[in-house]
Amino acid sequence: MTEKPSGTTPPDGPDPDVTLVVTLLHGAVADLDAGTPPLAALHARAGRERRRTRVWAAGAAAGLVAAAASVVVGGVTVLGASLEADRQAPAPLAASAADAELAVPPGSQLVAVGNQAVVVPRDVGVEAGQATVQEAESAADFHLAGTPGLLSGDAVPYSSDYLLPATPRGGIAPRGGYAPYDAPLPGSADALGVFAPLNTSTSLVEARTLRSHAGIPPLHPWGPLSTSAVAGEAPYVAALRTYGLDVELAEEVGRGEPGDVLAVSPAPGTIVDLGSTVTVTVVGRAR
């Protein structure tokens, strides 16, 4: 990356010392690659900052009201008790941090599978329940497969063949949104697959690790649940527990082998607090 030495015309006239300094300053950093502006990260951080400020302000206001009330009551003991209660109260910033991890810039959405999440433009039109997060060599690749209403037939398996030409693996997503991959996909002639490379330096996508929440994963690892059930509940249930969720099993009569997963509640794509109970409905065992 080179920099045009914009200081060829010294701001203070033809002073040779000024000319030299301008030239040297520009030359010194001309090869320094600053990368792409991390706009999504900036917006996310600003969102967290605004939220933290609001919580702090609300807490301060509440504290002032409490202190004023204590003074009106006039008891030193009451005031002391109030301060003690403040010391024992949960720190507001902790709650704020938990909320902040869900904050997204305007026009964006948070899509989470387990504890991995990405911020993507809202107009991508993806349901989180149809997405998977996969680890690649250098960055987490986020496979958004099966835009609602467009995916039919069998689920689309993950494959590097579905990389979006405009957003090569590990590359920078183009500004302005993601173009759909418009080639027919196996088993789904009208399917729409979008592959977005995850790189924290891109301007459109931000990767996050959720520490207080988890996204309910899709029942099928590559797309929406088709007409058949997911074979074997154990891996799915194990995944939920790995994410920090509690699992409650329910049985129903249905197609498939006993133990196959029929449904999950909350629905795939829902982001819930860690420790929440997720109900997994499986095919009942023969009695």
Partner 1 sequence: MDEPGEPGAQGAQDVPVDFDAYVALRWTRLVRAAVLLGAGREEAEDVVQSCLVRCLVRWDRVRAADDVDAYVHKALVNTFVSSRRRRWHGERPTDHLPEVAHTDAADEVDDRDAVLRALEKLGTDQRTVVVLRYYSHLTERQTAEALGVAPGTVKSRLSRALRVLAADPSLLALRGAG
| Residue ranges that bind partner 1, judged by CB under 8 A | 1-4, 6-7, 10-12, 15, 17-18, 20-39, 41-43, 45-46, 49-50, 53, 203
- Shortest separation between residue 174's beta carbon and partner 1, angstroms: 13
Least distance to partner 1 from the beta carbon of 107, Å? 11
E runs forming strands in the chain: 108-113, 116-121, 131-135, 140-145, 193-197, 206-209, 213-215, 246-252, 261-265, 271-273, 277-283
Of residues 196, 190, 173, the one with CA closest to residue 126: 196
Indicate the residue among 2 and 227 with the shorter CB distance to partner 1. 2
Decide whether 163 or 207 has the Cβ nearer to partner 1.
207
Residue 175 to residue 111: CA distance in whole angstroms: 19
Min separation Cβ 140 and partner 1, Å: 20
> What value, to the nearest 5°, has the Cα angle with vertex 176 and ends 170 and 180?
65
Residue 170 burial (C-beta neighbours within 10 Å; 0-12, 13-18, 19+): middle
Our CB check for partner 1 shows the closer of 15 and 257 to be 15
Q: Closer to partner 1 at the Cβ: 22 or 240?
A: 22
In whole angstroms, how large is the CA radius of gyration of the chain?
26
Q: Considering the complex, what minimum distance in angstroms separates the CB of residue 26 from partner 1?
A: 7
Complex with partner 1: residue 173 or 214, whichever CB lies closer: 173
Tokens of 161: 């063949």
| CB closer to partner 1, 4 vs 87 | 4
Phi, psi of 212 (to 5 degrees): -120, -5
Amino acid at 252: E
Q: Between residues 8 and 159, which has the closer beta carbon with respect to partner 1?
A: 8
Query: Cβ 235 to partner 1, closest distance in Å?
Result: 39
Say which residues have a Cβ less than 8 Å from residue 137's Cβ, sequence separation at least 6: 170
Nearest distance, CB of residue 45 and partner 1, angstroms: 5
Task: Provide the phi-psi class of 177: left if phi over 0, else alpha when psi is between -120 and 50, else beta.
Answer: left
CB of 3 to partner 1, least distance (A): 6
